[in-house]
Chain A
Amino acid sequence: MVLDVVEAILGFPPVWQVLVVGFGFSLLVSVVAVWFERKTAARVQRRLGPYWASPRLGGLLHLVADMLRYAFQQVIIPRGVDMTPFLVAPIVGMVISILPVAVVPFTSNPQYWPLPPGAMEYSLLIALAITTLPPIFIVAAGWASNNKFAVIGGLREAFIITAYELIAILGFLAVAAAVGSFNLAVIAEAQNPVKWFMLLNPLAFLAVIIAVAMSTSAFPFEIPESESEVVAGPFTEYSGLLYALNMGGAYMRRFIYGILIALTFMGGWAPYNPGEGIFAGYIVPSLIVTVKALIIVLAISFLRAVYGRYRLDQALDIAWRLTLPLALLGLALGIIQAFIGLA
Chain B
Amino acid sequence: MAAEEGKVYVGNVDVAARRARDILLGKLKLEDAVDWATSFSLWPVHLTTSCCSTEFAATFGPRFDGEQFGSLPWVSPRQTNLIVIEGTVTRKMACAVRITWEQMPSPKFAIAMGACALDGGLFYNSYNVVRPWEVIPIDIYIPGCPPRPESVARAIVELQRKIRRKHLAGEWVRTGWRPDREPVKPKEDVCSWWRG
Contacts and interface: CB of A to CB of B under 8 A. Distances in A.
Contacts of B65: 42, 47-49
B122 interface: no
A57 interface: yes
A237 B103 CA distance: 9
Interface in B30-89: 33-34, 36-41, 61-62, 65, 67-70, 72, 75-76, 78-79, 81
A240 interface: yes
A72 interface: yes
Contact of A231 (B34, B76, B81, B105): B76
Contacts of B10: 52, 55
Interface of A: 38, 42, 45-57, 59, 61-62, 64-70, 72-76, 227-228, 231-232, 235-240, 243
B76 A68 contact: no
B114 to A, nearest CB: 24
B1 interface: yes
Contact of A66 (B13, B41, B69, B78): B41
Nearest to A149: B76
A238 B76 CA distance: 9
Contacts of A47: 61-62, 65, 67-68
Contact of B67 (A38, A76, A231): A38
Nearest to B173: A72
A236 B70 contact: no
Interface string B85-126: 000000000000000000101110000000000000000000
A38 B71 CA distance: 11
Interface of B: 1, 3, 8-13, 16, 33-34, 36-41, 61-62, 65, 67-70, 72, 75-76, 78-79, 81, 103, 105-107, 169, 173
- Which 10 interchain pairs have the tightest Cβ spacing? A68-B37, A74-B105, A65-B40, A51-B68, A227-B75, A232-B76, A239-B78, A65-B37, A47-B65, A69-B41
A235 B74 CA distance: 13
Given A52-B69, A53-B8, A53-B70, A69 B37 contact: yes
Given A55-B3, A61-B40, A231-B75, 16 more contacts: A47-B61, A47-B68, A49-B68, A51-B69, A52-B70, A53-B40, A54-B12, A69-B41, A70-B79, A72-B38, A73-B105, A76-B105, A235-B76, A236-B78, A239-B79, A243-B78
A172 to B, nearest CB: 34
A68 B70 contact: no
A65 to B, nearest CB: 4
A230 B39 CA distance: 28
B17 to A, nearest CB: 10
Contact of B79 (A56, A67, A238): A238
Contacts, number: 115
A56 B10 CA distance: 10
B9 A48 contact: no
A68 B62 contact: no
A72 B34 contact: yes
B66 to A, nearest CB: 9
A47 B81 CA distance: 23
Contacts of B1: 55
Contacts of A62: 40-41, 70
Q: Which of B16, B65, B79, B169 has the most CB of A within 10 A?
A: B79
B106 A53 contact: no
Contacts of A52: 9-10, 40, 68-70
B64 to A, nearest CB: 9
Given A232-B75, A239-B105, A48 B68 contact: yes
Contacts of B3: 55
Contacts of A70: 79
A53 B8 CA distance: 6
Contacts of B38: 65, 69, 72
A309 to B, nearest CB: 13
A49 B69 CA distance: 8
29 contacts: A42-B65, A46-B62, A47-B65, A47-B67, A49-B67, A49-B68, A50-B68, A51-B68, A51-B69, A52-B68, A53-B8, A53-B40, A53-B70, A55-B10, A56-B12, A59-B70, A64-B37, A65-B41, A66-B37, A68-B36, A68-B41, A69-B34, A69-B41, A70-B79, A72-B37, A72-B169, A227-B76, A238-B78, A238-B79
